[in-house]
Amino acid sequence: MKENNRPLILVTNDDGSNVPGIRNLIEIVKPLGDVVAIAPDEGRSGMSHAITIKYPLRIALLREEENFVFYNCSGTPADCVKLALDRLVDRKPDLLVSGINHGSNTSISVVYSGTMAAAIEGGIHGIPSVGLSVVDHSSHPQFSAAVTFGEKIIRNTLSQGLPEGVCLNVNFPAKKAEEIKGVKVCRQTRGFWKEEFEHRVDPLKRDYFWLKGYFENYEPDAEDTDQWAIKNNYVSVVPVNVDFSAMHAMEKIAAVYEKCIKV
């Protein structure tokens, strides 16, 4: 990619290189700068921040044109970002965007999400980063709101940047753009996935288990959360901190472990 003054934008996802979400995202960012896209060679949802250490990573060039290249990678979303920053770009990207994920990444799902792991990896490297997801698990998700409002959020992030160590977790209702009431900057809902592992038997009479389950919202009436925003036709924007330190518990924990345990 020839050198110029256009912003450099890194694009990735966790659903793989051949899905509508990343194609929509690439079309959003192409007018905004030079684009390097790299995605897993198959879907790797739920990989969280896993990295590949036992096997070699391989990449393949899928497409190349002026100001745009697209690769796939045999690794995880976090691998994609790490490899791209070391081998595929000649300077630090001005922006990293991950998605558009097919399915919600609200609440506790951020912990399991490969989409958000890629955005967080960008934040670790000091790159303004945004993970984008549409709350639609169908084979042909409704991307209207995600494209319209995603473009505005991406443009704003590119021009304004983000605080150090912070990336954005953005979720879009599965609605047409004209049905969206607005954007809510909010917090992550307190809740969790209640897993159920269904016991099954294959044709060779071998046992196996299939993950099922449901999401349990601990605070369904709280109006400052991402779940409430989505339910009420708002785009939810949650600032995510790379630092996992539980600052609110620091004093209490110190009283137990520093004051009560003597050397």
What pLDDT, on the 0 to 100 scale, is given for residue 104?
94
**What are the structural domains of the chain?**
8-189+220-257 (3.40.1210.10)
What pLDDT, on the 0 to 100 scale, is given for residue 3?
57
What single-letter amino acid sits at 33?
A: G
pLDDT tens figures, 59-102: 999 999 999 999 999 999 999 999 999 999 999 999 999 999 99
Q: Residue 193: pLDDT above 70?
A: yes
List own/partner pairs for 160-164 with CB under 8 A and 24 or more apart: 161/128, 162/123, 162/128, 162/129, 162/239, 163/239, 164/126
In percent, the amount of the chain with pLDDT more than 90 equals: 87
Sheet of strand 59-65: strand arrangement? 59-65, 68-73, 34-40, 8-12, 95-102, 129-134, 166-172, 234-241, 182-185
What pLDDT, on the 0 to 100 scale, is given for residue 57?
97
3-state secondary structure of 262: coil
What pLDDT, on the 0 to 100 scale, is given for residue 150?
97
3-state secondary structure of 237: strand
